[in-house]
Amino acid sequence: MDKRAKNILFKTYWTSAGWLREENRKIEEADFNYAKEKGVMFDPLTITKAALISKLDNVIQTISKKMITDAFLCSLSSRRLDWRSGLGSYANANRVLTGKDLHDCYYGNGDHEDLNVLNFERIKWGGVRHHSGLYNWLDLSLLEKENIATPTKDDMDIFRNILKVIDDSEYGETPSKLRERLRTAFKGSKNERHILLEILGCADILKPLRFDRKEPGKHDWTFVLHWRGEDKYDRQKVKEYFGEYGIE
């Protein structure tokens, strides 16, 4: 990824104090054109639901599951969070394409959509809108253009250690508690660990077995909100995605 283009994107949305207020988001035309040329920033997009579904279907047909899983595993040591994001987008895109009577919020189609903020979130945290078909399409379309390395033994060991931490979860353990315990297996910030769990939840690897559990008064969980320690992880899903690496 071009460093200058990435810096232009980040400075458009973020400062050392956090998010820039929308009215303060300004970018020089020359900078935007440079970042756009490098495939990091984009013009606003207006797209219909039908067109978005077609784009999603095309990218799902062309990107291989092995590229998705290679990218995810490589991200664990390289901290290329944009590579990590693809696993969640791949899973959700398939849900969007096969689901019936889904609310429009699951598509994200509309007028003058800002793809740049989606790519910023993708690069900085590994994505925060995996429920959105629009994000899934952007994420997978960009990942498809990358040259993904072959996962190393270290990459696979990191993921095995993550699964071990999950498997050691105690009865009633919340996602927030699991997020803290992941520090023993995985180097990354709190936000990074948070999004990692959400990606695993989106891919049905961390799958709640019940949805009648009490929600905390304040939280920012989505896919793993109702997960608890006794749910562990779905071994069949892990085998489906990562069995060829000897990970189950």
Terminal-residue alpha carbon distance, the chain: 32
Query: b/e map of 200-213 (b: 16 or more CB within 10 Å)?
Result: bbbbbbbbbeeeee
Size (the chain), residues: 248
- Are the C-beta atoms of residues 38 and 123 closer than 8 Å to each other? no
User: Residue 114 carries which side chain, given as an amino acid letter?
Assistant: D
Residue 219 falls inside a structural domain:
yes
At residue 20, the pLDDT reads: 86
10: how many CB neighbours lie within 10 A of its CB? 14
Instruction: Return per-residue pLDDT of the chain as tens, 248 residues.
Output: 899 999 999 999 998 888 988 888 889 999 999 999 999 999 999 988 889 999 999 999 999 999 999 999 999 999 899 999 999 999 999 999 987 666 666 676 678 899 999 999 999 999 999 999 999 999 999 999 999 999 999 999 999 999 999 999 999 999 999 999 999 998 889 999 999 999 999 999 999 999 888 887 778 899 999 999 999 999 999 999 999 999 98
Q: In 3D, which of 91, 232, 107 has the Cα closest to residue 169?
A: 232
Distance CA 164, CA 152 (A): 19
Distance CA 135, CA 125 (A): 14
At residue 108, the pLDDT reads: 66
Residue 5 falls inside a structural domain:
yes
Residue 61 falls inside a structural domain:
no
Distance CA 14, CA 116 (A): 12
- Are the C-beta atoms of residues 117 and 83 closer than 8 Å to each other? no
Residue 227 falls inside a structural domain:
yes
Domain span holding position 183? 153-245
Q: Number of structural domains, the chain?
A: 2
At residue 201, the pLDDT reads: 98
Query: In angstroms, what CA-CA distances link 197 with 35, 68, 130, 180, 184?
Result: 30, 17, 12, 11, 15
Residue 47 falls inside a structural domain:
no
Residue 124 falls inside a structural domain:
no
Residue 66 falls inside a structural domain:
no
Residue 103 falls inside a structural domain:
no
At residue 106, the pLDDT reads: 60
